[in-house]
Amino acid sequence: MSERTPLPLVFDEPRGRKKPPPHLADLTPDERKARLEELGLPGFRAKQLSTHYFGRLVDDPAEMTDLPAAQRDELVAGLLPDLMTPLRTMEADRGTTRKTLWKLFDGALVESVLMRYPDRATMCVSSQAGCGMACPFCATGQGGLQRNMSTAEIVEQVVAGARALARGEVPGGPGRVSNVVFMGMGEPLANYKAVMGTVRRLTDPTPDGLGMSARGITVSTVGLVPRMLQLADEGIPVTLALSLHAPDDELRNELVPINTRFSVDETVDAAWNYAKVTKRRVSIEYAMMRGINDQAWRADLLGDVLQARGDWGWVHVNLIPLNPTPGSKWTASDPADEREFVRRLEAKGIPTTVRDTRGREIDGACGQLAATES
Ligand code: SAH
């Protein structure tokens, strides 16, 4: 193993940043009403605006014909300010994978990816501009954290995908977003409040929110243990994914530097607690890196670490073929090693899947979101 360089771990975003303008999707239904009243506008219009935004997925004020023309601009400016601009959309898999590069109000860049399958459509969203977790194999981790995104900035990515699907812009006919995964840029549990706000907006019934099932939402984390414990107590059964990548502290300290704060044991305990409290099976993410974490003995150790918490089906392992990032010294595992890894986990009774690598050629696959404008 190479010498480990000390990596800065950034938990708090830089101070003194300007915040994005408040938006309907940041607010609860009562707060939306209150905001309009503060602006001297009729509060009951908030419901109509919510119906346009979450229910009809309208973005052009001209289509909001139930709002009085004289007040429309003010109402829209008050609750539906422009938060982000799509700079570029790239397509792969015959248009069923679409990556969008967004420019936020302050120039920060983030990316989201829409992946349509025969039976579902998944939006992979960013929760931070950049990321402070500094995992050395992840493209986003290399640039550090710029800032947390607001709830509405995260929700907007999902709504944009929902619009594209509803309008039949994605091959396969009109459709809906069925799944949302917080696997884009950023560490969602480091932006806990805005991410929980997003989960509420996504799951609140239309027109207050998008009316999605919590089960279709996956929050993926490096393992911020106190936040994982907190999430278990929210009473919203989202799926939790833990990016483990190594079953032993020595290697995980290098691959996921936050491990120097929360050990493998503490982190897996928190994942197990999540499964116990929510009765939702936790997903262990494991990016397979050739000669680094893909040895047969590590598969056995991973199996033991997970099984030590019980064999009641609380967990499954999702192996991700590493997407090598530019300049990285790591490559994906040999297929034979990957098969052996799967075999050893399954031999211990642990359900194991290998993730597909959609969107690779547009750098839209896991860990490749770097948001450079070139
Ligand atoms: N911060 C969250 C979300 C990040 S992205 C987390 O770490 O879970 C979602 C997944 O992609 C994580 O499991 C992450 O470890 C993985 N990932 C990052 N870079 C990758 C790469 N180059 N190849 C494959 N998976 C990668």
Residues 101 and 243 in one domain: yes
Confidence category of residue 8, pLDDT binned at 50, 70, 90: very low
pLDDT (mean) for 197-214: 98
Residues 53 and 183 in one domain: no
Q: Which two tokens stand for residue 369?
A: 């979101």
Phi, psi of 289 (to 5 degrees): -115, 125
Best probe residue, ligand 1, of 180, 285, 317, 358 (max atoms within 8 Å of C-beta): 285
Greater model confidence, 10 or 253:
253
Residues with Cβ within 6 A of ligand 1? 133, 137-138, 183, 187, 220-222, 243, 285, 287, 320, 322-323, 325, 366-367
357 contacts 313 by C-beta, under 8 angstroms: no
pLDDT (mean) for 203-208: 97
Residues 58 and 167 in one domain: no
Sheet containing 282-288: order of strands: 84-92, 97-104, 109-116, 121-124, 179-182, 217-221, 239-243, 282-288, 315-321, 352-354
pLDDT (mean) for 76-89: 95
Residue 282 belongs to some domain of the structure: yes
Domain, as residue range, for 162: 84-373
Question: How confident is the model over 335-352, as pLDDT tens digits?
Answer: 999 999 999 999 999 999
Q: What is the CATH number of the domain that holds 52?
A: 1.10.150
Number of domains in the chain: 2
Residues 171 and 250 in one domain: yes
Greater model confidence, 3 or 353:
353
Q: What pLDDT is stored for residue 7 in this prediction?
A: 42
Nearest to 181 by CA among 152, 207, 158, 205: 158
In the chain, the percentage of residues whose pLDDT exceeds 70 is: 93
Question: How confident is the model over 230-253, as pLDDT tens digits?
Answer: 999 999 999 999 999 999 999 999
Residues 61 and 95 in one domain: no
Atom of ligand 1 nearest to the CA of 243: 13
Catalytic pick among 124, 131, 135, 366: 366
Best probe residue, ligand 1, of 222, 240, 243 (max atoms within 8 Å of C-beta): 243
Helix 69-79 to helix 29-38 angle (10° resolution) is 120
Confidence category of residue 135, pLDDT binned at 50, 70, 90: very high
Greater model confidence, 363 or 127:
127
Residue 13 belongs to some domain of the structure: no
In the chain, the percentage of residues whose pLDDT exceeds 90 is: 85
Residues 35 and 126 in one domain: no
**Does the pLDDT at position 362 exceed 80?**
no
Pairing of strands 239-243, 121-124: unpaired
Q: Whose CA is nearest to atom 3 of ligand 1?
A: 183
Q: What pLDDT is stored for residue 4 in this prediction?
A: 41
pLDDT (mean) for 275-300: 97
Residues 141 and 51 in one domain: no
Residue 265 belongs to some domain of the structure: yes
Question: How confident is the model over 292-325, as pLDDT tens digits?
Answer: 999 999 999 999 999 999 988 999 999 999 988 8
Q: What is the CATH number of the domain that holds 242?
A: 3.20.20.70
**Does the pLDDT at position 13 exceed 60?**
no
Residue 19 belongs to some domain of the structure: no
User: 79, 96, 123: which is the final residue of a domain?
Assistant: 79
Helix 264-278 to helix 296-307 angle (10° resolution) is 50
Question: How confident is the model over 22-80, as pLDDT tens digits?
Answer: 999 999 999 999 999 999 999 999 999 999 999 999 989 999 999 999 999 999 999 99
Residue 18 belongs to some domain of the structure: no
